[in-house]
């Protein structure tokens, strides 16, 4: 088993809840090497009794359990122990129940059964790290509040003391900004990892969401959208296929043009399901609205709502173009794959029909710039060549396609050592791309 990829508190207490003893045994075996304190319960009622007498950092619950299902149990945990991280294990076919758990239990994340060991380990490590950062953030905010109160009480004659306190406050705010930036990066990385997990089901679609997200962001910048709007477009593009999680494999592998009427009706609901799955997450509400409309067409012939022209949110019009540009090259939209040049012509032919003319114009400018802009100066380095301070110029992926670190991540000694341990434990030979001038 690979070592954790980040510093998580070894004394963290985990509670696993499942009515199947073999599942509990598998989870205990998987997490025992990481030094966590592990407790188990065979049902919701027993788990609540444990939580009344134990301090639990994170709870993982199965959805299907007798008497009290996972959604009902996690709703109780949210009401009584809101600071405990809540994760749901669910099957692909349980989307409605999962949405209920998200809305009532405010779960941190849901994971599909059967799980991938590395995925569930990384998810829990990240959840505990984020909780640790949030606690540190709250502590810094409280310290800042107290220092502000002290500043109000200072006498005007204590000018030197005011200057000293102000300097301390400046340093504290600097620490707070660093903590906030870590939380922001952690959030974006979580979305990237989740997007990567979605694509693991899609086979040949691997990398699709990341490409759509990067192109959508470039078009949004070209069109002069604000930073918050650009971020919503980027996040929505990363997660635009989240509603396909419950679809059967044969529908994911079949080009849209080859679907029967009944199959299309089933596929056409995925934007609505995607919006429903994310609505309860405050930071993703803007992105969720764009996900619902990313298959609408400028001429009003899209789905699911048949919106027309400017009725369609601008971000959704951008994602619609980027999604189909990549899709026709993968062969998931038409019954054949198009070369890049033919894909560009396909987009141009859809101007004013499938696509907003303004978005097409911005897309053409982006494509023109991408062909003439100076290439990013980067170097490929092995782990033995990696040094603290290097900045990733590409996402770092495992040999199995999992996202390990996001682009623009700054390496440090601890992280390099942990990735080296991952490589030595069977993660495959890893090559990192770093900026040559950073």
228 lies in some domain? yes
Model pLDDT, residue 110: 81
Q: What is the mean pLDDT of residues 223-246?
A: 88
Clarify whether residues 173 and 240 are in a common domain. Answer: no
Q: Which of 22-31, 165-174, 210-219 has the lowest mean pLDDT?
A: 165-174
Model confidence at 421: pLDDT above 90: no
CATH number of the domain at 410, please: 3.90.105.10
Clarify whether residues 209 and 98 are in a common domain. Answer: no
Clarify whether residues 330 and 392 are in a common domain. Answer: no
Task: Tell me what percent of the residues of the chain surpass a pLDDT of 90.
Answer: 35
Q: What is the mean pLDDT of residues 56-61?
A: 94
Clarify whether residues 222 and 180 are in a common domain. Answer: no
Q: Which two tokens stand for residue 176?
A: 């707070």
Q: What is the pLDDT of residues 68-93, one digit of tens each?
A: 988 889 999 999 999 999 998 887 55
Model pLDDT, residue 376: 57
Q: Tell me how many degrees the CA angle 94-121-233 measures, rounded to the nearest 5.
A: 65
Q: Which two tokens stand for residue 12?
A: 């963290």
Clarify whether residues 276 and 357 are in a common domain. Answer: yes
Q: Which residues contact 30 (CB under 8 A, 6 or more apart)?
A: 1, 117, 120, 121
Model pLDDT, residue 8: 45
Model pLDDT, residue 331: 86
Q: What is the mean pLDDT of residues 299-311?
A: 94
Q: Which of 343, 372, 401 is the last residue of a domain?
A: 372
Clarify whether residues 264 and 316 are in a common domain. Answer: yes
Domain with 64, as residue range(s), is: 13-117
DSSP state of 337: -
Q: CA 418, CA 7: separation in Å to the nearest integer?
A: 10
Q: What is the CA radius of gyration of the chain?
A: 24
Distances (CA, A) of 305 to 256, 263, 301: 18, 18, 9
Find the farthest-apart pair of alpha carbons in the chain and give their distance in angstroms, rounded: 82
Model confidence at 188: pLDDT above 80: no
Clarify whether residues 253 and 341 are in a common domain. Answer: yes
Q: What is the mean pLDDT of residues 179-203?
A: 52
Q: Which of 117, 144, 179 is the last residue of a domain?
A: 117
Domain count along the chain: 4
Q: Which residues contact 411 (CB under 8 A, 6 or more apart)?
A: 386, 387, 388, 389, 390, 391, 392, 432, 434
Q: What is the mean pLDDT of residues 279-295?
A: 86
The per-type count for the chain, helices as H runs and strands as E runs, is 16, 9
Q: What is the mean pLDDT of residues 14-43?
A: 93
The three-state (H, E, C) secondary structure of 115-137, written as one string? CCHHHHHHHHHHHHHHHHHHHHH
Model pLDDT, residue 1: 40
Q: CA 371, CA 411: separation in Å to the nearest integer?
A: 30
7 lies in some domain? no
Per-residue confidence at 19, pLDDT binned at 50, 70, 90? very high
φ, ψ (nearest 5 deg) of residue 52: -70, -25
DSSP letters, 253-275, are HS-GGG--HHHHHHHTTHHHHHH
Model confidence at 94: pLDDT above 80: no
3 lies in some domain? no
- 78 neighbors 44 (Cβ within 8 angstroms): no
Model pLDDT, residue 2: 43
Model pLDDT, residue 295: 94
Model confidence at 426: pLDDT above 60: yes
Model pLDDT, residue 307: 96
Model confidence at 306: pLDDT above 70: yes
Q: Which residues contact 9 (CB under 8 A, 6 or more apart)?
A: 57, 128, 132
Average pLDDT taken over every residue of the chain? 81
Find, among 39, 22, 109, the residue nearest to 74 by Cα.
109
Q: Which two tokens stand for residue 311?
A: 């009725």
Q: Which of 180-184, 288-292, 324-328 has the lowest mean pLDDT?
A: 180-184
CATH number of the domain at 230, please: 1.10.3210.10
Model pLDDT, residue 107: 82
Q: What is the mean pLDDT of residues 256-275?
A: 87
Clarify whether residues 356 and 244 are in a common domain. Answer: yes
Clarify whether residues 166 and 305 are in a common domain. Answer: no
DSSP state of 106: -
Model pLDDT, residue 289: 94
194 lies in some domain? no
pTM of the model: 0.47
Per-residue confidence at 49, pLDDT binned at 50, 70, 90? very high
φ, ψ (nearest 5 deg) of residue 112: -80, 145
Q: Which residues contact 28 (CB under 8 A, 6 or more apart)?
A: 16, 38, 40
Model pLDDT, residue 427: 58
3-state DSSP call for residue 355? strand
φ, ψ (nearest 5 deg) of residue 21: -60, -35
Q: What is the pLDDT of residues 380-403, one digit of tens each?
A: 888 888 888 888 877 777 665 556
Per-residue confidence at 217, pLDDT binned at 50, 70, 90? very high
Q: CA 278, CA 243: separation in Å to the nearest integer?
A: 10
Host H or E run for residue 71: helix 70-80
Token pair 């900045």 is found at 391
Model pLDDT, residue 192: 55
CATH number of the domain at 46, please: 3.40.50.2300
Q: Which residues contact 339 (CB under 8 A, 6 or more apart)?
A: 329
Model confidence at 296: pLDDT above 90: yes
Clarify whether residues 97 and 178 are in a common domain. Answer: no
Q: Which residues of 111-149 are buried (b: 16+ CB within 10 A; e: fewer)?
A: bbeebeebbbbbbbbbbbbbbbeeeebeebeeeeeeeee
Model confidence at 199: pLDDT above 60: no
135 lies in some domain? yes
Clarify whether residues 111 and 45 are in a common domain. Answer: yes
3-state DSSP call for residue 39? strand
363 lies in some domain? yes
8 lies in some domain? no
312 lies in some domain? yes
Q: What is the mean pLDDT of residues 167-193?
A: 57
Tell how strand 378-382 and strand 431-435 pair up: antiparallel
Model pLDDT, residue 434: 86
Q: CA 216, CA 63: separation in Å to the nearest integer?
A: 35
The three-state (H, E, C) secondary structure of 147-194, written as one string? HHHHHHHCCCCCHHHHHHHHHHHHHHHHHHHHHHHHHHHHHHHHHHHH
Q: What is the mean pLDDT of residues 160-166?
A: 67
Clarify whether residues 361 and 217 are in a common domain. Answer: yes
């Amino acid at each position: 088993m690979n070592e954790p990829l980040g510093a998580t508190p070894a004394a963290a207490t985990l509670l696993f809840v499942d009515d199947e003893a073999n599942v509990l045994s598998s989870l205990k075996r998987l997490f025992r090497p990481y030094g966590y304190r592990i407790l188990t319960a065979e049902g919701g009622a027993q788990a609540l009794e444990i939580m009344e007498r134990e301090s639990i950092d994170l709870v993982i619950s199965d959805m299907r359990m007798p008497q009290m299902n996972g959604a009902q149990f996690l709703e109780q945990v949210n009401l009584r122990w809101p600071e405990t991280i809540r994760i749901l294990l669910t099957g692909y076919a349980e989307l409605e129940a999962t949405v209920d758990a998200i809305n009532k239990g405010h779960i941190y994340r849901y994971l599909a059964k059967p799980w991938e060991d590395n995925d569930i380990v990384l998810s829990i490590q990240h959840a505990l790290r984020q909780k640790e950062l949030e606690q540190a953030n709250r502590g810094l905010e409280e310290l800042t509040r107290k220092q502000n109160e002290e500043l109000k009480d200072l006498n005007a004659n204590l000018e030197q003391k005011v200057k000293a306190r102000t300097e301390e406050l400046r340093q504290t705010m600097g620490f707070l900004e660093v903590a906030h930036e870590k939380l922001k990066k952690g959030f974006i990385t979580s979305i990237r990892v989740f997007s990567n997990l979605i694509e693991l089901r899609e086979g040949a679609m691997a990398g699709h969401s990341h490409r759509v997200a990067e192109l959508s962001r470039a078009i949004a910048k070209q069109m002069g959208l604000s930073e918050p709007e650009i971020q919503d477009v980027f996040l929505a593009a990363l997660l635009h296929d989240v509603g396909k999680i419950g679809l059967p494999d044969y529908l994911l592998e079949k080009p849209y043009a080859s679907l029967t009427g009944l199959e299309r009706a089933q596929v056409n609901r995925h934007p609505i399901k995607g919006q429903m799955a994310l609505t309860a997450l405050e930071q993703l509400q803007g992105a969720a609205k764009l996900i619902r409309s990313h298959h609408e067409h400028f001429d009003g012939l899209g789905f699911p709502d048949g919106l027309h022209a400017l009725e369609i949110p601008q971000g959704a019009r951008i994602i619609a173009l980027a999604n189909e540009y990549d899709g026709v090259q993968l062969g998931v939209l038409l019954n054949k794959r198009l070369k890049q040049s033919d894909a560009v012509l396909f987009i141009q032919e859809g101007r004013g029909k499938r696509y907003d003319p303004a978005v097409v114009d911005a897309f053409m400018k982006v494509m023109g710039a991408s062909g003439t802009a100076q290439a990013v100066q980067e170097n490929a380095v092995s782990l033995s060549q990696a040094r603290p301070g290097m900045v990733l110029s590409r996402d770092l992926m495992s040999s199995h396609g999992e996202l390990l670190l996001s682009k623009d991540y700054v390496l440090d000694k601890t992280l390099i050592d942990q990735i080296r341990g991952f490589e030595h434990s069977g993660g495959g030979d890893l090559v990192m791309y770093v900026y040559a001038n950073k």
